Amino acid sequence: MVIDIVKVILPASLAFIFGIGIAPILSHYLYTFKAWKKKGGKRAFDGKEAVIFNSLHEEKEVGTPRMGGIVIWGSVALTVIFLWFLGLFAPTETTLKLDFLSRSQTWLPFFGLMVGAIVGFLDDYLEIRGSTDYQAGGLSLTKRLAVVFATALFVGWWFYEKLDVSTISVPFFGDLFLGWLIVPFFVFLTLVLYTSGVIDGIDGLSGGVFASVFAGYAAIAFYQQQIDLAAFSATILGGILAFLWFNIPPARFYMTETGTMGLTLALAIIVFMTDSLGGGHGIAVLPIIGFLLVVTALSSVLQIFWKKAFKRKLLPMAPLHHYFESIGWPGYKVTMRYWILGIMFAFFGVLVALVG
C-alpha cells in the first residue's frame, strides 16, 4: 500500500519539479522569438468579428506567448523517461515498481497526450508564424478535428478489438452493452472533450480546471488498483500545477493548442480506462468531475446552433466563462470561482464513482 502511494505521489512531484525547471527556459525562448499572435482578437464561427471578446482580450493576445502547454507534456515525458531509465539502469525492486509506463494501463493515454501535443504544437507554430489577420495562421478547425477523429477512431477500435471493451458502466444500474457502437461512442466523447479545450481563455482558468479533473481520475484509478494509470494521471496533474505557477494572472504564457489538445485526448482515454475496463464508472461521472469542461463545450455548441437556427446569439459571449466576463466579472474572479467549483465537482464525482 505504501509503495503504491509513493508510486503515485513521487511522479507527480517529479513532474512539478521538471515543469518548474522547464518553464523559465521555455519562457526565455518564447519571448526571444516573439511566439505570440501578430494581431490580437478573433472572429466568431460565422466569420464575423467577435466584438465583445476583442474589446476584453485583443490587447492581451499580443505580447503573451503561446505554447505554454509544452511545460505540461514536457514535464510528463521527462518524468516517464526518467523513471523508465532508472528502472532500466539501476534495477531494484523499488525502481522497477516506480516505473509506471505499462502496456496495460498507460501506453494508450501517453500516446493520446503526445499525439495531441505534437499536432497542437504545429497549430501553435503556424499561428505565431503566419497570423497577420484574423483568418491566417494555425491549422484549420477541420484539420484539427480530423486528427482528433482519426486518433479517437484508432483508440476506440483498440478498446473494442484488443481490450474487449463493449460495455459502459452506469452507477446503481450495471453494465450497458454497446457492442461495436463503443467505437463511435468513444469518438463522440473525445470530440466533446476536445471542444471543451476552449476553456483556455482566461489567465489561470484552464490549468485550474484540468488540475481538478485529472486529480479526480487519479483518485478513481487508485481506488480501482490501476496504480500505473493513477500515477500517470497524477503526473499530468504535477505538470499542470507547474504550468499554472506561471499562468496565474498575469499569465507568463498561455497553454494553447499544444496543451489543450494533448490533455483532452489523454483525458478521454483515461475516462474510458476507469470505466468497465477498471470495474468502475469513469464515463458516467465525467459530467460531474468534468462539469466545467462539459458546460464549456455545451455553451459553445448551443451558441453556434442558436445563431444558425434563430439568427441571433443565445449568450452575449460564449463559451460560458466569457459570458461572465461580459456581464462585468473580472477575469480573476471567474478563474477563482471556477477553481472552487472544479474542486467541489471533482470531490462529488469521485464520491459517486466510489459508491455507485
276 in Cβ contact with 212 (< 8 Å): no
CA distance 125 to 257: 10
CA distance 274 to 191: 19
317 in Cβ contact with 190 (< 8 Å): no
CA distance 29 to 103: 35
43 in Cβ contact with 134 (< 8 Å): yes
Q: Is the dihedral of CA 256, 258, 261, 264 positive or negative?
A: negative
Beta bridge partners of 177: 167
What is the 8-class DSSP label of residue 139? Answer: -
Report the pLDDT value the prediction gives residue 149, as an integer from 0 to 100: 97
In three-state secondary structure terms, 45 is: coil
Beta bridge partners of 167: 177
Q: What is the pLDDT along the chain (356 residues), one digit of tens a residue?
A: 788 999 999 999 999 999 999 999 999 999 999 999 877 655 544 445 555 555 555 556 678 999 999 999 999 999 999 999 999 888 998 899 999 999 999 999 999 999 999 999 999 999 998 754 444 568 899 999 999 999 999 999 999 999 999 999 988 888 899 999 999 999 999 999 999 999 998 999 999 999 999 999 999 999 999 999 999 999 999 999 999 999 998 999 999 999 999 999 999 999 999 999 999 999 999 999 999 999 999 998 888 888 888 888 888 888 999 989 989 999 999 999 999 999 999 999 999 999 87
Beta-carbon neighbour count of residue 305 at 10 Å?
A: 11
In three-state secondary structure terms, 148 is: helix
Chain position carrying cell 496495460: 104
Domain boundaries, the chain: 2-355
Q: Which amino acid is at 186?
A: F
Extract the C-alpha cell encoding 327. 456581464
Residue closest to 264 by CA, chosen among 206, 214, 208, 194: 194
CA distance 37 to 128: 5
CA distance 36 to 353: 41
Extract the C-alpha cell encoding 118. 505534437
320 in Cβ contact with 240 (< 8 Å): no
CA distance 355 to 110: 29
Half-sphere exposure for 326 (CA within 13 Å, toward CB):
14
Is the peptide bond between 24 and the residue preceding it cis, with omega within 30 degrees of 0? no
Beta-carbon neighbour count of residue 85 at 10 Å?
A: 12
CA distance 18 to 26: 12
Report the pLDDT value the prediction gives residue 132, as an integer from 0 to 100: 42
Which residues fall within 8 angstroms of residue 344, CB to CB, at 6 or more apart?
none
Report the pLDDT value the prediction gives residue 135, as an integer from 0 to 100: 45
CA angle 30, 31, 37 (to 5 degrees): 80
Report the pLDDT value the prediction gives residue 227, as an integer from 0 to 100: 97
Q: Which DSSP helix (H) or strand (E) runs through 68?
A: none
Report the pLDDT value the prediction gives residue 42, as an integer from 0 to 100: 59
